[in-house]
Amino acid sequence: MPIGGGRDPIQKKICMLGAFGVGKTSLVDRLVRNTFSQHPRVAVGVRIDKCMVELEGRRMNMIVWDLHSEEDFRQILKSYLRGAAGYLLVVDGTRPPSLDGAFEIMGLTETSSRDTPCVLLLNKADLAEDWRLEPSRLDELERRGLTVLKTSARTGEGVTEAFTTLGRAILGRAEQ
């Protein structure tokens, strides 16, 4: 990977948010290890991984926090997000209730981390024939001004783009 300017990498905490089973851990495994498992590990507590992404000639060392999401998640969200430079909010395209959960999480994060960059990921793009998300619901995401990308941990579609898009948003915010 070419490195521009010889500068030290920027280090940032990134949080993975979303309902249980949407593919947060699988997306991290695809990015960090370039692997996909039909029987993925379930994150218990918080699993922390590290990855390096190249952004406009700069390296960003992303410390990725993947939290096991259950009902008690809402209790600890504020402390989980403390110090986060950005977050990826993951929705399962085959499960419409995961989008409802994402809207709930967005409401909670807006009170804890105003102006923190977020990219919403519509995961499981490889299962397009099984998608159940209504187009009108997806239009609502655009009206909210969210950056929305389709991803697939299975095929790798959009995974690197998701993390680099978030990294660019973080750099843009830091330069303001």
Domains parsed from the chain with CATH numbers: 10-174 (3.40.50.300)
pLDDT at 147: 93
pLDDT at 69: 63
How many CB atoms are closer than 10 A to CB 167? 25
> Are the C-beta atoms of residues 27 and 159 closer than 8 Å to each other?
yes
Q: Which residues, in sequence order, are CB contacts of 106 under 8 Å at separation 6+?
A: 89, 118, 144
* Predicted model pTM: 0.88
* Ranges in the chain, pLDDT < 50: 1-5
